[in-house]
Amino acid sequence: MFDISWLNQTGSNVSKEALIRENEVLKKQIQELLTLDETGFFIELDSLLRAILKKALVLCKAESSFFSLSGKDPSELDVRISNLILEEKMEKIRSQFRSEYLRWQESETPIISIEDFILLPLVRRHKMLGVIGLKLTPDAPDNICEILPILASQAAASLESAILYERMFKRLLVLSNVFILGKEIVTNIDLQTLVDKFLSIARDGTDSEIACIFLVRENDELPYFSQVQAGEGIASFAPDSNNGFSPMIQNIRREEKPQLIAELKGNQFEESESIKVTGLKIRDTIGLPLKPRDKFLGVIQVANKKGNAGYRPEDLDLLKILGSQIAFVIQNADLFHNLQRAYIDTLSALTSAIDAKDSYTRGHSERVTDLSMRLAVEMGVERSEVEKIKIGGLLHDIGKIGIPEGILNKPGRLNDEEFTIIKSHPELGVRILGKVEFLAGVVPIIKFHHERFDGKGYPDGLKGETIPLLARIVSVVDTFDAMTTDRPYRKALSTEEALKEIHHCSGTQFDPGIGAAFIRMMRREKE
């Protein structure tokens, strides 16, 4: 079928000595080729291709060469390495190979002749993994016909090993990232942060350009959360795309079965799916339902497999592993937020109990909490710390539950004994809440919000930055709210009067940096 008679130019009159020498050379060459088997296990794929091609050049004395890997369409030569071949020449070889490939499938001949090149199909288990192309010189060994099949066989074995190694190594790396993500899930319940990392791992692990997630509640028609990630993570769904909740995703939701589309062109979902991400055209995709324990949570999707390879079953397997992790996050996030709401409701009830005892400070804890959180954001405090103020602000005066109402509501100034009792409320608050483990992070706010920057506060007389930051923030706002509300012994000050007093007391009672930030924020909001 393929004419390779021109390869064997050996004459019939060969001496016995020459034949022996030729056989010895052939043995050495075979030994050289056998070392290729080892190579695939130890070096990366591109390095292996170069090593194989270098050996082929030396053994066959070729003047130019190329190495192509098989992708989704083996008839298309995906040239990874090319030596001394003009692009015009390479195009001719590609064109002829497309037509010759069908003929080769019928026979699986060891050599294909195209133009002045010989092409060696690298075959394992009746599957073409790649092609070596060689343009031989007149100095090619006389036994070239014996060398080429051995070269192809050994190169194919090495290539298969390297491809499997690369896939397994990448899979191991991805699963390592999944393990790290799993550990983070235990300590971080922020859904947005974890989704970002999840989509990044999904993209990298499946070699995809795009990753999306759609979270849907049981009785809702549309997702309550959807996100797309591509390139550097910056991506958006196209206008009028229903936030990416396309007919294909809706179909996966209905049938609750995964879908792998190797070629979107000509598919029933092509029109809506291909253009749903701004600035990108989707070519191929995998969609997977998130359904742990028979509860449907949403759909994850990856699209646009990089390189010439298509999506494989192992890509779907990897998504299933990742999907189980993100499903765990979603369920935990829901449980956590439900629990958090229960905590906040309980804390609000405690705050109401304080207000019931001290009628002059009704709403004080809520106002202090709101202003303290805004001040913390103004100062660039981390989000997790701002969340502590949300609870610590509500509970900062919880110790007043243990203070007699007669002292709390006394119309005149307190005497020394009464003031000593009032000063005990921070420590009373710590006694009430100190054994509640989940509130450990807010106890410093409760205990130290009456400390002074100059060290003259209570209960411990802490000074300067030894006072916890959140307690210093709440201290400024607590005093401001006290000054701007009516008390039994005086009328409320105006906002401006109170801000001037905070400025006057900055550096003594208050942290000067926090005092300045509060004044700046309040005056800006007033304007």
What pLDDT is stored for residue 39 in this prediction?
A: 45
pLDDT tens, position by position, 424-454: 989 988 887 776 666 788 899 999 999 999 9
Residue 260 DSSP code: E
pLDDT tens, position by position, 456-500: 999 999 999 999 999 999 999 999 998 998 776 678 899 999 999
Structure-token match 């602000």, residue found: 393
pLDDT tens, position by position, 166-197: 776 666 566 666 656 555 555 555 677 778 88
Could you tell me if 149 and 25 lie in one domain? yes
Percent of the chain clearing pLDDT 90 (strictly above):
36
pLDDT tens, position by position, 337-378: 666 666 666 666 766 666 666 655 667 888 999 999 999 999
CATH (domain of 392)? 1.10.3210.10
Could you tell me if 122 and 218 lie in one domain? no
Contact 227, 260 (CB under 8 A): no
What pLDDT is stored for residue 12 in this prediction?
A: 44
The CA distance from 297 to 299, in Å, is 7
Residue 221 DSSP code: S
The CA distance from 525 to 527, in Å, is 5
Mean pLDDT of the chain: 82
What pLDDT is stored for residue 157 in this prediction?
A: 82
Structure-token match 């439900």, residue found: 338
Contact 30, 150 (CB under 8 A): yes
Could you tell me if 380 and 324 lie in one domain? no
What pLDDT is stored for residue 57 in this prediction?
A: 81
Is the pTM of the predicted complex or chain greater than 0.85?
no
Could you tell me if 397 and 522 lie in one domain? yes
Q: Is residue 516 part of a domain?
A: yes
Could you tell me if 307 and 407 lie in one domain? no
Q: Is residue 349 part of a domain?
A: no
Domain count, the chain: 3
What pLDDT is stored for residue 356 in this prediction?
A: 66
pLDDT tens, position by position, 214-262: 999 888 889 988 999 997 767 899 998 898 999 999 999 999 999 999 8
Could you tell me if 316 and 365 lie in one domain? no
Q: In the structure encoding, which two tokens stand for residue 319, read together?
A: 């998504």
CATH (domain of 200)? 3.30.450.40
Residue 320 has pLDDT above 90, yes or no: no
Q: What band does 11 get if pLDDT is binned at 50, 70 and 90? A: very low
Q: In the structure encoding, which two tokens stand for residue 496, read together?
A: 């401006």
What pLDDT is stored for residue 6 in this prediction?
A: 46
Q: Show which of 285, 316, 333 is a domain's final residue.
A: 333
Q: What band does 142 get if pLDDT is binned at 50, 70 and 90? A: confident
Average pLDDT over residues 95-122: 90
Percent of the chain clearing pLDDT 70 (strictly above):
80
Q: Which domain holds residue 512?
A: 358-526
What pLDDT is stored for residue 489 in this prediction?
A: 67
pLDDT tens, position by position, 17-36: 765 666 666 556 555 554 55
pLDDT tens, position by position, 274-309: 999 999 999 999 999 998 777 888 999 999 998 878
Mapped onto helix, strand or coil, the DSSP state of residue 456 is coil
Could you tell me if 154 and 247 lie in one domain? no
Containing H/E element for 224? none
Structure-token match 């060969």, residue found: 14
